[in-house]
Amino acid sequence: MIRRIGSMFILGLCSAAALAATPGYQPSFHPDQLKGPPAGRPNEVLVLGSPHLSALPDTFAPAQLEPLLERLQAWKPDAIAVEAISGMQCDYMRRFPTRYVDSIDSYCPDLAPAQAATGLDVPAANAEAERLLATWPTEPTAAQRRHLAAVFLAAGERNSALVQWLRLPTAQRTAADGLNDELVAYLDKRLQRRDESLQVAATLAARLGLERVWAVDDHTADSATPKELEKASSEAIMKAWDNPYNKARAEADVALHADLGKPDGLLAIYRAYNTPEAAMQAFHADFGAALVEPSPQAFGRNYVGYWETRNLRMVANIRDVLGQTPGTRMLAIVGASHKPYYEAYLQLMHDVQLVDAGDVLH
């Protein structure tokens, strides 16, 4: 009986595998093969898979980013996208707190101080920022930069506010032109955060003479798991993640982190995180494992659905930015597990040419 059950189980697996392998309908239209060339300069996107700096060991220091920053600066992007939610999306999510309460708490800062200082709500502040940038002078005054920083804070674009703050001489980072003491203290404190949106993106933008960064993250696919299913859902996903690929990733990180103090130690992490091998390992460790997670409630497939939706919307935000100014050279900085999805979805776009991060980092 046991042998018979085992045989049936193996037969079932083989049947499921055969079903999954069946290609089914294949569309004849392939936008990735219809890329022009366009009239004029192409849109180029370099997707940089990044560790979250906040998760690095205590041996991390911002100076370790210099070899990375030097290579990115030499590539000369004219737009930088970051894994952050825009002020407009946070404003939308705040209108649906029953669905997004956890996401609001995690990703959307309190804008009341900036809005009180400027008299602008999120839509008005975003409109004002766009109006200012449309006629932005080649050499703005310190007062203009302080004012734009205040407007960006009210708009919910804190990383762009930090770009303006970094472009000011230290002596000019004062409370004036819409910035009060509370907002100045907020900006100064945020400069110390271990966050790639600041330490890499905003820092690089300021060095390149850019005026902002683009917040392209998306959490509108977020939803709260019903309380009665939270425990079962968490256990199912954690069980899926308990696999050899995840163990290998953790062991590789230990070795990389041990070399963090070396001159190119952090650059070595970025090089490792941006290889094709890392992309496949991330899939097998995380999303591939969740896809075949066998709970009757399909917790793993729920998770993969959320993940794909989030990445599609993030890439749509990037494509929107590129569409505004054709011929843009964009650096898109994102958590390393997003990178393969970014590149796969961006490759489908008619007017996007991808750049190999490995070429830039070496």
Write the DSSP string, 301-319: HHHHHHHHHHHHHHHHHHH
Give the mean model confidence (pLDDT) for residues 273-295. 97
Domain boundaries, the chain: 83-217, 229-361
Give the mean model confidence (pLDDT) for residues 98-120. 96
Examine the pLDDT at 144 and tell me if it is beyond 90. Answer: yes
What DSSP line would sit under 219-233, residue for residue? -TT--PPPHHHHHHH
Question: Using CA atoms, how far apart are residues 222 and 220, in angstroms rounded to an integer?
Answer: 5
The sign of the dihedral angle between the CA atoms of 327, 329, 335, 337 is positive
Contact present, 29 and 164 (Cβ < 8 Å): no
- Predicted confidence at residue 244, as pLDDT, reads 97
Question: Using CA atoms, how far apart are residues 342 and 82, in angstroms rounded to an integer?
Answer: 12
- Predicted confidence at residue 18, as pLDDT, reads 44
Mean pLDDT, rounded, of the chain? 94
Give the mean model confidence (pLDDT) for residues 139-144. 98
- Predicted confidence at residue 9, as pLDDT, reads 34
- Predicted confidence at residue 20, as pLDDT, reads 57
- Predicted confidence at residue 1, as pLDDT, reads 37
- pLDDT digit string (tens) for 206-264? 999 999 999 999 999 999 888 999 999 999 999 999 999 999 999 999 999 999 999 99
- pLDDT digit string (tens) for 291-333? 999 999 999 999 999 999 999 999 999 999 999 999 999 999 9
Examine the pLDDT at 19 and tell me if it is beyond 70. Answer: no
